[in-house]
């Protein structure tokens, strides 16, 4: 009986570590130009409780063209939970390798790494039940690109994610001491 229970618990743990595929709307704003498209992200929680956020084969769709960006992966995201809402925050420079879609001739991600030393991001993700809101700020103003980029993903009905008050770093709906902790975590990561 103990062996059966142990095997069941191991199976549950393995299932819990699998990536969660989430469909939703992705809005990208580059300076003053905004584009919204359907997208799929993956959230994977490892055995240590940390998350990996992935947007694989990301292609920015505009009115006129498709721009192959690449595989956006941000790993080792440490969660903190307040009032049932889990928040993942991170500030770092990431590399964006090429995707593997054969219909895309050029992926811009590898050039960003080669030409600019990577992509500086500030990521804030809110998880509450089945609702996921991802907000990524990318400041490429100091590079030759001179761009401010915001990427917002949500699977919450009604389009773009929630609107938050300035200072509500952990996206819990209130400006409080918990935001200091969130900001501290962003700056340390």
Confirm whether 117 is domain-assigned: yes
Domain contains 9? no
Q: How many domains does the chain have?
A: 1
Place 3 in a pLDDT band, splitting at 50, 70 and 90: very low
Three-class DSSP category at 33: strand
**With left for phi above 0 and alpha for psi between -120 and 50, is residue 171 left, alpha or beta?**
left
Percent of the chain with pLDDT strictly greater than 90: 62
pLDDT at residue 172 in the model: 67
Instruction: Evaluate whether residue 12 is within a structural domain.
Output: no
Express each pLDDT in 58-115 by its tens digit.
Answer: 999 988 789 999 999 999 999 999 888 999 999 999 999 999 999 999 999 999 999 9
> Is the model more confident about 187 or about 73?
73
36 within a domain of the structure (yes/no): yes
Count the Cβ atoms, other than its own, within 10 Å of residue 55.
22
In a domain, 5, yes or no: no
pLDDT at 14: 41
Tokens representing 31?
């300076």
User: Is residue 2 in some structural domain?
Assistant: no
Domain CATH number, residue 161: 2.40.128
Alpha-carbon span 72 to 70, nearest angstrom: 6
- Residue 62 belongs to domain spanning: 20-188
pLDDT of 13 strictly over 60: no
Q: 103 to each of 2, 6, 60, 107, how far by Cα in Å?
A: 52, 46, 14, 11
pTM: 0.75
Flag whether 168 is in a domain: yes
4 lies in some domain: no
Write the pLDDT tens digit of every residue in 29-73. 999 899 999 999 999 999 999 999 999 999 999 887 899 999 999
Structure confidence at residue 177 (pLDDT): 73
């Amino acid at each position: 009986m103990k062996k059966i229970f142990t095997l069941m618990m191991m199976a549950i743990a393995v299932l819990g570590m699998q990536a969660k595929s989430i469909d939703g709307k992705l809005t990208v704003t580059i300076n003053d130009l905004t584009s919204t498209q359907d997208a799929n992200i993956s959230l994977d929680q490892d055995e240590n409780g940390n998350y990996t956020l992935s947007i694989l084969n990301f292609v920015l769709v505009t009115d006129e063209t498709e721009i192959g960006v690449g595989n956006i992966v941000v790993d080792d995201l440490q969660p903190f939970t307040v009032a049932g809402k889990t928040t993942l925050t991170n500030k770092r420079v990431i590399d964006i390798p090429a995707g593997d879609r054969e219909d895309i001739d050029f992926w811009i991600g590898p050039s960003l790494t080669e030409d600019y030393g990577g992509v500086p991001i500030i990521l804030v993700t809110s998880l509450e039940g089945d609702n996921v809101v991802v907000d990524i700020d990318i400041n490429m103003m100091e590079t030759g690109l001179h761009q401010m980029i915001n990427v917002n993903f949500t699977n919450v009905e009604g389009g773009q994610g929630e609107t938050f008050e300035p200072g509500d770093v952990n996206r819990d709906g209130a400006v409080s001491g918990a935001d200091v902790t969130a900001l501290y975590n962003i700056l340390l990561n």
